[in-house]
Structure 1
């Protein structure tokens, strides 16, 4: 899975464009949908329970983990 960088940067770098934010949000939505589709054996392989997967899959596209913002 490619990593996402959704952070706003300051100084010589510009904040992400609206298009890049939309692309990132669609990627997050697609990844969360794929996560929800995994069966219980696959979830165990990656160390998640069904409840954790559903919890992550139902988060809004703009609600991403803090480490994605760096």
Structure 2
């Protein structure tokens, strides 16, 4: 089978490595978001409709516990 000019091929190993990198990025984002949430003041939490207990519960979750992952 001929390759079409202008199209790059990606090996399965490269796809797996890219998926691993994107997962690491997502975990780091979750860590940052939870850390920032824990630092919010009471007025900001009230604006968001959250309590201090909500922020403690969320920031205590491990970084790999991704709510968007199904």
What's 2:6 paired with?
none
The offset of 1:56, in angstroms, is: 0.2
Q: What count of residue pairs does the alignment treat as equivalent?
A: 55
Give ranges in structure 1 of 5+ residues lacking alignment.
1-13
Structure 2 residue corresponding to 1:31, chosen from 5, 22, 33:
33
Alignment RMSD, CA only? 1.8
State the 4+ residue runs in structure 1 displaced beyond 3 angstroms: none
Structure with the higher fraction of residues in helix conformation: 2
Distance in 2, matches of 1:64 and 1:18, equals: 15
- 1:15-54 alignment to 2 at 5 Å? 17-54=19-56
* TM superposition shift of 1:58: 1.1
Counterpart CA distance in 2 for 1:44 and 1:63 is: 25
* TM-score, normalising length: structure 1: 0.70
Q: Which runs of 5+ in 2 are unaligned?
A: 1-14
Give TM-score scaled by structure 2 length. Answer: 0.70
Q: State the structure with more CA Rg.
A: 2
